[in-house]
Structure 1
Amino acid sequence: MERYEALIFKEYPDFDMLVMDVASALANDLSEALHHEDRVLFAVPGGTTPGPVFDALSVADLDWERVDICPTDERWVPEINPRSNARLIKERLLVNRAMAARFLPLYASALQPEDVLAELEAMIAPKLPLAVALLGMGADMHTASLFPKAQGLEKALSENAPILVPVRREDLPETRVTLSARVLDGAMRKHLLIQGEDKRIALEKARKLRAKEAPIQSVLDGANVHWTV
């Protein structure tokens, strides 16, 4: 384990060990939070990388009935779409013991997210701050749907950002909705899961850049980074 300024970096010999350690850390953080709060909010990413962590975490012996789970971000597509983060989360995390948790979506049936953003935020606002956030990072140094050069990024990075921000970029197939950097960074516990040498290089590069250029920078303070090749 290495300590960098403002974060803890933990390296694993293989992905299986990372999965078990991250699942255990998340379970411990949620358990601790439940000792102090009636309900806790847990934000998780989509994508394929966290799937095995969800599998392991879903059998954890927690009071899941008191846990609310929301995506860190979402593509503006219905759950039946294979690209839906909600679909992945429900298939891989909200099963076994974790089936008792309550899911808070970032998507509702509307042409544009702006049409229903207030209703979606109203479900999340009373649950904040996040007790635990599990994050990922792309090689372009994005996290959640905080993409470099995206329309909406400046708003999502601002100190007084709303809870949810629509994000668009020409090369993205769909509009995205993301928790703002303010909300993600405000989590009581933050875990960043990355895999591959390119991601480690990207993380080291990001630490020298501004959040506008490397959005992951906006959530690194106090984060636990878990990495393997």
Structure 2
Amino acid sequence: MNIIKYADAEMMMIDVAQEIASDLETALEANGKASFAVPGGTTPAPLFDVLCAANIDWANVTIVQTDERWVKDSSPRSNARLIREHLLADRAAKATFVSLYNHCEQPEDEIEKTREKVAELLPLSVVLLGVGADMHTASLFPGGDNLALAIDPSAPLVMPMRVDSQDEPRITLTEPALNSAMAKHIVVTGDEKLAALEKASGLSAMRAPVNRIWGGARIHWAKN
């Protein structure tokens, strides 16, 4: 595991945004289209604010969530809402957005339709991820009810996930979807999450799901 360390978070977000823009441009030049899987949460918002201004062919980029809380798009806890506000703006407003939330009561409802939508985007061009202090990434949580299947290379591309530590059910891309990406970036801030990454290398994937995903990824860290 190679961790790229930055002097501060602002510098990191600018540099990673430039790398991702380059990765997307490479995919666009090769295939005429690109797919980009992104998380919600507060950490990537400053990166999105930079990336959305990149001068690339956003009209041929499709953006999908890495995971989502099972809440309406209008909820302040919705990853889709954050993505729309911070990434689908400026030049990137021309991109297509595919939501994992399908407006049903439970994440299991009509999940096959969601899997079909994701299958059309594979292999993903770029994946951006974070990591939690509990060593989860996307919604691959230690203790998650479907974790064992979701980190299996033969898993369905999208799985519901419930875990006692979280208020809502979740839906998440799984190991084969995330690891299909041509380029993977993991962005981490703070000493607690750095310690979690370092701890994860010595644990099983059931205890530290991020270590099933970080192979081949560029891991970026800043203190704050």
**Structure 2 residue aligned with 1:71:** 65
CA distance in 2, matches of 1:109, 1:135: 24
Q: Give the stretch that moved more between structures: 115-124 or 40-49.
A: 115-124
**Structure 1 residue aligned with 2:116:** 122
Select the residue among 38, 42, 45 that pairs with 1:48.
Answer: 42
Select the residue among 169, 181, 186 that pairs with 1:187.
Answer: 181
Secondary structure of the corresponding residue to residue 43 of structure 1: strand
Secondary structure of the corresponding residue to residue 52 of structure 1: helix
User: CA offset at residue 38 of structure 1?
Assistant: 2.4
**Structure 2 residue aligned with 1:226:** 220
2:56 partner letter: L
**Structure 2 residue aligned with 1:59:** 53
Secondary structure of the corresponding residue to residue 133 of structure 2: coil
**Structure 2 residue aligned with 1:11:** 5
**Structure 2 residue aligned with 1:85:** 79
CA distance in 2, matches of 1:170, 1:204: 25
TM-score by length of 2: 0.98
User: What are the ranges of 5 or more consecutive residues in structure 1 without an aligned counterpart?
Assistant: none
User: What are the ranges of 5 or more consecutive residues in structure 2 without an aligned counterpart?
Assistant: none
User: CA offset at residue 82 of structure 1?
Assistant: 0.5
User: CA offset at residue 171 of structure 1?
Assistant: 2.6
Q: Deviation per CA, 1:47-72: give whole Å up to 9, x if none.
A: 00100000000000010010000010
CA distance in 1, matches of 2:178, 2:211: 12
Select the residue among 105, 109, 115 that pairs with 1:111.
Answer: 105
CA distance in 2, matches of 1:31, 1:84: 28
CA distance in 1, matches of 2:26, 2:188: 24
**Structure 2 residue aligned with 1:102:** 96
Equivalent pairs counted in the alignment come to 223
CA distance in 1, matches of 2:165, 2:118: 29
**Structure 2 residue aligned with 1:156:** 150
Q: Deviation per CA, 1:166-185: give whole Å up to 9, x if none.
A: 00012311100000012112
**Structure 1 residue aligned with 2:209:** 215
Determine whether 1:137 maps to 2:126.
no
Secondary structure of the corresponding residue to residue 107 of structure 1: coil
Select the residue among 171, 174, 177 that pairs with 2:165.
Answer: 171
Q: Deviation per CA, 1:119-166: give whole Å up to 9, x if none.
A: 111212111011000000000000000000110101101121001000
Identity %: 47
Q: Deviation per CA, 1:71-97: give whole Å up to 9, x if none.
A: 100011111110000000000000000
CA distance in 2, matches of 1:141, 1:88: 22
Q: Deviation per CA, 1:12-42: give whole Å up to 9, x if none.
A: 0011110110100000000011111122110
Secondary structure of the corresponding residue to residue 222 of structure 1: coil
User: After the TM superposition, which parts of structure 1 deviate over 3 Å for at least 4 consecutive aligned residues?
Assistant: none
CA distance in 2, matches of 1:115, 1:38: 33
